[in-house]
Amino acid sequence: MERIKTDICIIGAGSGGLSVAAGASQMGAQVVLIEGHEMGGDCLNYGCVPSKSLLASAKAAYGMTHPGDLGIAPAEPQVDYAAAKAHTRRVIETIAPVDSQERYEGFGVRVIRDWARFVSPTEVQAGAISITARRFVIATGSRPFVPPIDGIEDVPYLTNETLFDLSERPEHLLIIGGGPIGIEMAQAHIRLGSRVTVLETGKALAAHDPECAAIVLNRLREEGVEIVEGAQVTRIGSEDGSIIAETADRTYRGSHLLVAAGRRVNLDGLDPEAGNIACDKAVRVGDDLRSVTNRRVYAVGDAAGRLQFTHVAGYHAGIVVRSAVLGMRWAKARQDHLPRATYTDPELAEVGLGEEEARRRYGSKLEVVRSSYDHNDRAIAEGRKTGTIKVLVAGGKPCGAAIVGAHAGELVGMWAMAIANGQKMSAIANTVLPYPTFSEINKRAASGYFSPRLFDNPRLKTFVGLVQKYLP
């Protein structure tokens, strides 16, 4: 057996593991990176990248049938589902070199392509290689959770790991789960010509601001997606070549079934017990992202059991590099400034607290300011007036923002920056933005916070009266 001693051993070469490896190795630490499957993990191969690529094809098709009032006649798009999937593959291939074994070996990282498991609190094995390290980073990500519905294993269901390889367009896609994956893929498929039914046991897009989520769900329904909330599927089966999903009061039929019912953290095969690493649904870590039972071990990204986003995995990686490479043991992960976006049309994006939590925390001190897309000149010019922004303000500072509308994922960045840096509403209001841009929606919301203070203020009016009296 080959034996390696290293500074940092990272398990998993997805968004989190790769970011730790890049940072640590380029700062001079010795790094071993172990990947059992594809370099790039979920985001590149089965997640963000293919889903956003397919949504882009779908948006192009929708734009042809819905040109709005722009003076262009609608046209029937010739949708080639297989070609759209070829586009997603090309996008993956274009981005893949950035996550490749060769690139990381170029940084001096020893990359091992095998599955890793702990054999002791200080040692991991990957195939015939044993690695002891000063610090370990669990960056094993997550996989689709398949609910134990009667009959589900007897039908050929799809998950995000197989959907993007499907080249025949589903005639009628049944989707179990109305979270971000289910809803993004529902819109992609309805626009590419499938019929789509989403069966959601609770509320669809439940993690999002309810007002903003409702706008997205209404749009999907208008486009023809059947979204059934409160649908408890009790049995899955097949009949006459169709897949059927039974709830208490109805049977739904489709040609294909996509399971998008949440995620399971990848801990199987890792043998965390042998490493004295306490886990529940994820690795149990504190805000320092270190295992509560084995201080040599960190967890990042989906494996850390917090928000499951690529940018969060990257953020975690930065904390780990500070702590494990630079010895800044005080480095801690925050949650309050992390943006979340769902790339439907209209987009949905949030940062910071939701309204309910903000009210609990700040009570009557909380102020809510809003601005609507239909007052934004660029949105009017482009015929993209559906949308709104809601900013939660406490003590003059934004503590949360929710946006639904075109480019919401871009617009939320300004609020993420303000919250991350403890900036006041005046920081947004004082920023001069180019005209006409969608980002002026943010500024209008910030101005909305100051308007009553400036324009409905009797003391200010008296002061201005005096100034005007004495000004030469």
Ligand X SMILES: NC(=O)c1ccc[n+]([C@@H]2O[C@H](COP(=O)([O-])OP(=O)(O)OC[C@H]3O[C@@H](n4cnc5c(N)ncnc54)[C@H](O)[C@@H]3O)[C@@H](O)[C@H]2O)c1
Give residues in contact with ligand X (CB under 6 A). 147, 149, 176-182, 184, 199-202, 206-207, 233, 260-263, 308-309, 341-343
**List of residues 6+ apart from 69 with CB closer than 8 A:** 383
Does 140 appear as a known binding residue? yes
What's the gap between Cα 415 and its chain centre?
Answer: 17
How would you classify the pairing of strands 2-11 and 129-138? parallel
Buried b (16+ CB within 10 A) or exposed e, 216-244: bbebbeebebbbbeebebeebeeeeebbb
Kindly tell me which residue out of 13, 21, 186, 216 binds ligand FAD, with binding defined by CB under 6 A: 13
Tokens 């630490």 identify what position? 29
The alpha-helical segments, DSSP class H, found in 208-309 are 210-222
Q: Quick one: DSSP state of residue 302?
A: G
What's the gap between Cα 471 and its chain centre?
Answer: 55
> Using CB under 6 A as the criterion, what x/- string covers residues 340-379 for binding ligand FAD?
---x------------------------------------
Distance in Å, CB of 260 to ligand X, minimum:
5
Find the part of the chain contacting ligand FAD (CB under 6 A) among 15-23, 167-175, 190-198, 227-235: 15-23
Does 200 appear as a known binding residue? yes
Q: Which tokens hold the place of 224?
A: 């023809």
Q: Which residue is nearest to ligand FAD (CB)?
A: 14
How would you classify the pairing of strands 226-229 and 297-299? unpaired
Does 12 appear as a known binding residue? no
Distance in Å, CB of 231 to ligand X, minimum:
6
Of 68-87, binders to ligand FAD (CB under 6 A) are none
Which of ligand FAD, ligand X, none does residue 118 bind to, with CB < 5 to 8 Å depending on kind? none
Amino acid at 144: P
Distance in Å, CB of 138 to ligand FAD, minimum:
8
Kindly tell me which residue out of 6, 25, 57, 266 binds ligand FAD, with binding defined by CB under 6 A: 266
C-alpha 20/C-alpha 31 separation (Å) is 9
Nearest CA to 282 out of 297, 321, 461 is that of 297
Residue 225 engages ligand FAD in binding (rule: CB under 6 A) = no
Distance in Å, CB of 121 to ligand X, minimum:
30
How would you classify the pairing of strands 116-120 and 110-112? unpaired
Residue 23 engages ligand FAD in binding (rule: CB under 6 A) = no
Residue 301 engages ligand FAD in binding (rule: CB under 6 A) = yes
Nearer to ligand X, 263 or 390 (CB): 263
Does 302 appear as a known binding residue? yes
CB count, 10 Å around CB of 27?
11
Which of ligand X, ligand FAD, none does residue 147 bind to, with CB < 5 to 8 Å depending on kind? ligand X
Contact indicator for 353, 335 with CB cutoff of 8 Å: no
Distance in Å, CB of 302 to ligand FAD, minimum:
4
Residue 116 engages ligand FAD in binding (rule: CB under 6 A) = yes
Nearer to ligand FAD, 13 or 402 (CB): 13
Contact indicator for 436, 415 with CB cutoff of 8 Å: no
The alpha-helical segments, DSSP class H, found in 201-281 are 210-222
Nearer to ligand X, 131 or 186 (CB): 186
Nearer to ligand X, 180 or 448 (CB): 180
C-alpha 218/C-alpha 227 separation (Å) is 10
Does 327 appear as a known binding residue? no
C-alpha 11/C-alpha 24 separation (Å) is 14
Tokens 């009797």 identify what position? 458
Does 395 appear as a known binding residue? no
Binding residues for FAD: 52, 140-142, 302
Binding residues for NAD(+): 177-184, 200, 262
Binding residues for ligand FAD, per CB under 6 A? 11-17, 34-38, 41-43, 47-48, 51-52, 115-116, 139-141, 160, 181, 266, 269-270, 301-303, 308-311, 313, 343
